[in-house]
Amino acid sequence: MYSTTGIDASNFVATFDKAFYFTLGISIVLLIGLTVTMLWFIYRYNKKRNKSASQIKGNNVLEITWTVIPLLLALAMFHYGWAGWKPLYKPPAEGMNVTTTARMWSFSFAYENGKQSTDLVVPAGKPVKVKLISVDVVHSLFIPEFRLKSDIVPGREKLMWFIPETVGVYDLFCAEYCGLRHSYMSSKVRVLSEKDFTAWYADTAKAGPRTEVPAAEAEGLTIMKAQGCQVCHSTDGTRIVGPSYLHLYGEQQTVIRDGKEITLTVDDEYIRRSIYDPNSEVVKGFPKGLMQSYKGTLNDTDISKIIEYLKTLK
């Protein structure tokens, strides 16, 4: 039912490019035509040449011409645009399902077998249906080389679909300004061959980073990367949007709770509260309301692994 060309990045490229180049061609012809006509009138009816234009009451042929031709051109541009837009909202019945969760300021992608990734990994030549969810503000998933973009609105579930046609790595951006670190909200689309994707998809183990730390700590770092924690929190003491993780565990932290300053020790319970209810106790000097709750996204096992990792940042 579906075929691949081996040339375009996705099945929508040819249709959208046709509409773009058709509209661009018409625009260039009109620009040149109108500019040349304007210059000719300036030359021919220049006052220094002692010539003037004569007033006429009307010309039916001329008026019909400049009405009908623009109308036909507009209808032609609409046709190409409609032909490209309509299939976007008719996803195929079959295909791989992926759920992307957008939050300030990262994307995460969840697969039907429970696998999660910070990149959208898909097989070439197979339909992919991406369920779009935002947990905070309006985001927009934009894959330029696929010619695809869709806003992600909180409280509304939307669907994007496509067929990746060429193996490779493509940029994925948030195209809707969503806060202070909007420009950091980017990811990749990794299109693999069917064989490579099958191997990647079957490996449901959470592969930790290549470090010498114990497995639980490595898994904690992997979980945090998957949720985009590094976008707002550094591990080297650098101040970003949120407090740094360096030397965090076990230290005294001044927080604002119910409008009052209190001092707490960063322990397991504090970290758990910060993940599940991040705005109940906000570290002094940092803005409130930027971090959303991860309740339902991370479980107690995930948080325990995160805590083990944070203990190593000394």
pLDDT for 245-282, tens place per residue? 888 888 888 888 888 888 888 888 989 988 888 888 88
Give the residue-averaged pLDDT of 280-298: 83
Cα–Cα distance between 274 and 267 in angstroms, integer?
11
Predicted confidence at residue 288, as pLDDT, reads 81
Give the residue-averaged pLDDT of 193-201: 91
Query: Token pair for residue 59?
Result: 């010309």
Give the residue-averaged pLDDT of 199-208: 67
Predicted confidence at residue 209, as pLDDT, reads 35
Question: 10 with 124: CB under 8 angstroms?
Answer: no
Question: 164 with 132: CB under 8 angstroms?
Answer: no
Predicted confidence at residue 298, as pLDDT, reads 85
pLDDT for 158-171, tens place per residue? 999 999 999 999 99
**Assigned fold of 96-202:** Immunoglobulin-like (2.60.40)
> Does residue 105 have a cis peptide bond before it, meaning omega lies within 30 degrees of 0?
yes
Which tops the pLDDT comparison, 127 or 289? 127
Which tops the pLDDT comparison, 296 or 280? 280
For the chain, the domains span: 13-89, 96-202, 215-310
215-310: same fold as 96-202? no
Give the residue-averaged pLDDT of 110-139: 91
Q: Give the homologous superfamily in CATH for domain 215-310.
A: Cytochrome c-like domain (1.10.760.10)
Predicted confidence at residue 24, as pLDDT, reads 94
pLDDT for 50-78, tens place per residue? 666 677 777 888 889 989 999 999 999 99
Residue 293 has pLDDT above 70, yes or no: yes
Model confidence pTM above 0.85: no
Average pLDDT, whole number, for the chain?
Answer: 85
> Which among 106, 118, 92 has a CA at the least distance from the CA of 226?
118
Predicted confidence at residue 51, as pLDDT, reads 62
